[in-house]
């Protein structure tokens, strides 16, 4: 098996039952596996809500380590739409040329570092750095700030021994509190300041609401982007002919990003709380129980995708749900897509060869399912394009 | 060449011409409000949703099953709904009118 390969552990359960089961701190989860079922449940926010107790829709459950409601993630329509309309223009800035030029510079810097090192550990020394630097562009704050986030390491929201670690989470919450204080004292053009001065339905956002948006922006865009970047490097290291093809046909890069995101599905699943007795995959599902929408499984659904377990770089029709579906679809998707496009373009232009010299898989355990989502570490040798 | 008219939610009318590509791309090139094309045209985001004028629907044709599944869960969908990225532009589409759904 190639190192960049990510097998689909959900296939049998998806075909035979449509659902899986997992235990999570005494609050079990029915995992919805098929693409159509995942979409239907994501769309049906009345029965499958996001606005439950803060932290409960996350798997593993975070309700005991977090009180702040993440916004707009843990809010249902119609209030969700009001928050979303407020932040949406900010999160569309990656479509602007000036924004893309900044990202291009950061990607260039990361590739320079890789080439001058010759060999490096991609997760911490490439993906984490690039993700953190790029986040300063999204927040519109000085690049130096990324040094703090890089120092936190890859797992500020997760510890090695327990999936949810209150102390680690506190580092982020305290940091955001301090940043909000600073923005209140001297407002600027950054996301904190913009949020602090904005209104929803004639009401100023409260400090707690601003915190809710910021925590989500950090948490939602960290592991996901790190995995996507690392897996991209691993994939092209093992498929140099694909990189050659994109060099010759750069117009395929947009499709290739969608396909890689489908294949990687950096966020495996996300939960919902059931608001009434109902049925999921033809099984009874009780009020106040939890389900999860398994994006990673839906993206390999053989009823929808031909050759679901292959990367088909120019896949033309690709109705994947790697960025979610319906109301809560990923707010950071424009940023993530733009970053990956620039990364792939730059790799195709500047990298002659990449070779994986060592690797440690990152394997998640969800009940009966073990899913490789990427790497805990990935050592790669980089060589420049010749001539 | 096909001449295609978009009518946005705010009532702006934009007529554009093309002989190839798809409707989402044409709308984006002409800054048609309400067509974002987030996924670049692979039928994953539904941000390219249009309602075809009923009298032109035969020219455009029905959605594929995969596209149909996307539209089924779109709150603004009706029987004339299509995803712009799934409509290839050809001479046959000359003169059609599309109402932007979002
Ligand atoms: C490749 C990278 C990424 C992937 C695969 C990804 C995936 C997802 C998915 C599947 C959802 C839906 C969750 C649900 O339905 O409950 C989501 C929501 C969200 N993501 Fe991302 N994400 C990525 C990057 C980012 C980035 C970079 C940010 C911001 C910095 C971000 C911020 C958000 C936010 C704010 C939401 C909630 C939107 C809402 O509830 O309306 N994501 N993401
Ligand atoms: S552009 Fe995404 S579905 Fe048409």
CB contact under 8 A, B73 and A304: no
Q: Is the CB of B93 under 6 A from ligand 2?
A: no
Structure tokens at B77: 């969908």
Q: Which residues of A touch B43 (CB under 8 A)?
A: 317-319
Retrieve residue A239's tokens. Answer: 């498929």
Counting ligands in written order, the one closest to the CA of A134 is 1
Angle ∠(A260,A262,A265) on CA atoms, nearest 5: 100
Residue A387 has pLDDT above 70, yes or no: no
From A322, which residue of chain B is nearest by alpha-carbon distance? B44
Token reading at A294: 């398994």
pLDDT at A160 over 80: no
For atom 20 of ligand 1, the residue with the nearest CA is A330
DSSP A125: I
Question: Chain B: residue nearest A38 by CA?
Answer: B73
Q: CB–CB of A337 and B66 under 8 A?
A: no
pLDDT of residue A158: 55
Flag the least confident range among A61-70, A238-247, B74-83, B84-93: A61-70
- pLDDT reported for residue A177: 97
Give the residue, out of A330, A331, A335, A342, with the most ligand 1 atoms within 8 A of its beta carbon, to mutate for a pocket test: A330
Predicted pLDDT of residue B53: 97
Question: In whole angstroms, what is the distance from residue A253 CA to residue A349 CA?
Answer: 12
- Asked if residue B23 has its Cβ within 6 Å of ligand 2, the reply is no
If you average pLDDT over every residue of chain A, what do you get?
A: 95
pLDDT at res. A169 = 80
Ligand 1 centroid to residue A293 C-alpha, Å? 13
Q: Report the gap between the CA of B39 and the closest CA in chain A (Å).
A: 7
Q: Does ligand 2 have an atom closer than 6 angstroms to the CB of B85?
A: yes
| C-alpha–C-alpha distance, residues A320 and A298, integer Å | 8
Least Cα separation, residue B28 to chain A (angstroms): 12
Kindly give the number of the ligand 2 atom that is closest to the alpha carbon of B44: 3
Pocket test for ligand 2, best of B45, B70, B73 (most atoms within 8 A of CB): B45
- Binned at pLDDT 50, 70 and 90, residue A153 comes out as confident
A375: Cβ contacts below 8 Å, ≥ 6 apart: A122, A123, A230, A231, A234, A359, A360, A361, A362
CA-to-CA dists, residue A149 to A121, A177, B8, angstroms: 18, 15, 43
pLDDT tens sequence across A312-361: 999 999 999 999 999 999 999 999 999 999 999 999 999 999 999 999 99
In chain B, the number of structural domains is: 1
**Partners of residue A335 in chain B, C-beta under 8 Å:** none
Which chain A residue has its CA at the smallest distance from B44's CA? A319
B43 to A317: CB separation less than 8 angstroms, yes or no = yes
Report which ligand 1 atom has the smallest distance to the Cα of A91: 29
Q: Which of A14, A51, A65, A300 is nearest to A173 (CA)?
A: A65
Q: Whose alpha carbon is nearest atom 41 of ligand 1?
A: A328
Which residue among B38, B70, B71, B77 is best mutated to probe the pocket of ligand 2, counting the most ligand atoms within 8 A of its Cβ? B38
* A161 has a pLDDT exceeding 60: no
Three-state SS letters, A336-360: HHHHHHHHHHHHHHHEEEEEEEEEE
A335 ligand 1 Cβ < 6 A: yes
Q: With bands split at pLDDT 50, 70 and 90, how would you rate the model's confidence at A228?
A: very high
Interface test with A, best of B44, B72, B73, B82 (most A CBs within 10 A): B44
- All residues of chain B having their beta carbon less than 8 Å from the beta carbon of residue A43 are 73
Structure tokens at A11: 């296939």
Domains of chain A: 11-384 (1.10.630.10)
pLDDT tens digit sequence for B32-74: 999 999 999 999 999 999 999 999 999 999 999 999 999 999 9
* Other beta carbons less than 10 A from residue B58's beta carbon: 9
B35 lines ligand 2 (CB under 6 A): no
Would you call B38 an interface residue with chain A, using a CB distance cutoff of 8 Å?
Answer: yes
Q: What are φ and ψ of residue A33, in 5° steps?
A: -110, -30
A91 is written with which tokens?
């999160």
Following DSSP, what letter does each residue of B6-50 receive, concatenated? EE-TT--EEEEEESSSBHHHHHHHTT-TT---TTSSSSSS-TTEE
Inter-chain contact B73–A43, Cβ cutoff 8 Å?
A: yes
Q: Return d(Cα A325, Cα A322) in angstroms, integer.
A: 8
Average pLDDT, integer, range B12-21: 96
CATH of the domain at B72: 3.10.20.30
pLDDT digits (tens, 9 = 90+) for A90-107: 999 999 999 999 999 999
Taking the CB of residue A96, how many other CB atoms lie within 10 A of it?
11
- Pairs across A and B, CB distance < 8 A: 45
Q: A380 by DSSP, 3-state: which?
A: strand
Domain interval for residue B8: 2-100
pLDDT, residue A157, reads 58
Q: How far is CA A26 from the centre of its chain?
A: 26
Test mutation, B20, B29, B40, chain A, max A CBs within 10 A: B40
**Of all residues in chain A, what percent carry a pLDDT higher than 90?**
91
Chain A closest-CA separation from residue B2 CA (Å): 23
- pLDDT for A159 equals 47
Q: Which ligand is nearest to the CA of A321?
A: 1
To the nearest whole percent, how much of chain A has pLDDT over 70?
97
């Amino acid at each position: 098996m190639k190192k960049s390969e990510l097998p689909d552990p959900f296939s049998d359960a998806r075909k035979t039952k449509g659902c899986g089961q997992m235990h999570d701190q005494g609050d079990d989860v029915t995992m919805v596996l098929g693409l159509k079922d995942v979409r239907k449940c994501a769309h049906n926010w009345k029965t499958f809500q996001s606005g439950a107790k803060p932290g409960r829709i996350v798997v593993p459950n975070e309700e005991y380590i977090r009180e702040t409601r993440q916004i707009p993630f843990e809010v249902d329509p119609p209030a969700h739409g009001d928050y979303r309309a407020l932040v949406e223009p900010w999160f569309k800035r990656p479509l602007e040329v000036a924004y893309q030029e900044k990202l291009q510079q950061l990607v260039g810097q990361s590739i320079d570092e890789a080439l001058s090192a010759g060999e490096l550990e991609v997760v911490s020394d490439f993906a984490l750095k690039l993700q953190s630097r790029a986040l300063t562009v999204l927040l519109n704050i000085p690049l130096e700030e990324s040094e703090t986030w890089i120092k936190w390491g890859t797992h500020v929201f997760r510890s090695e021994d327990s999936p949810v670690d209150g102390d680690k989470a506190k580092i982020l919450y305290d940091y955001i509190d301090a940043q909000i204080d600073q923005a209140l004292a001297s407002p600027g053009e950054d996301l904190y300041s913009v949020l602090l001065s904005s209104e929803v339905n004639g009401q100023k956002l409260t400090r707690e609401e601003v915190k809710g948006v910021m925590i989500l922006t950090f948490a939602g865009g960290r592991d996901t982007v790190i995995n996507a970047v690392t897996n991209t490097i691993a994939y092209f290291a093992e498929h140099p002919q694909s990189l050659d093809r994109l060099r010759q046909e750069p117009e395929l890069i947009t499709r290739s990003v969608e396909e890689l995101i489908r294949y990687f599905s950096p966020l495996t699943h996300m939960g919902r709380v059931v608001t009434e007795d109902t049925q999921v995959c033809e099984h009874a599902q009780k009020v106040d129980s939890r389900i999860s929408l398994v994006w990673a499984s839906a993206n390999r659904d053989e009823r929808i995708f031909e050759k679901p377990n292959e990367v088909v770089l120019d896949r033309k029709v690709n109705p994947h749900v790697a960025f979610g579906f319906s109301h809560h679809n990923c707010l950071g998707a424009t940023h993530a897509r733009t970053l990956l496009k620039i990364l792939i373009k730059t790799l195709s232009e500047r990298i002659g060869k990449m070779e994986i010299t060592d690797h440690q898989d990152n394997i998640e355990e969800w009940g009966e399912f073990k899913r490789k989502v990427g790497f805990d570490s990935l050592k790669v040798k980089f060589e420049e394009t010749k001539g | 060449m096909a001449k295609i008219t978009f009518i946005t939610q705010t009532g702006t009318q934009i007529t554009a011409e093309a002989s190839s590509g798809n409707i989402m791309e044409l709308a984006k090139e002409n800054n048609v409000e309400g067509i974002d094309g987030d996924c670049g045209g692979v039928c994953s985001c539904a941000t390219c949703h249009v309602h075809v004028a009923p009298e032109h629907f035969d020219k455009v044709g029905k959605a594929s099953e995969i596209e149909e599944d996307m539209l089924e869960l779109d709150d603004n969908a009706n029987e004339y709904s299509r995803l712009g990225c799934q409509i290839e532009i050809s001479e046959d589409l000359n003169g059609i009118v599309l109402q932007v759904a979002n």
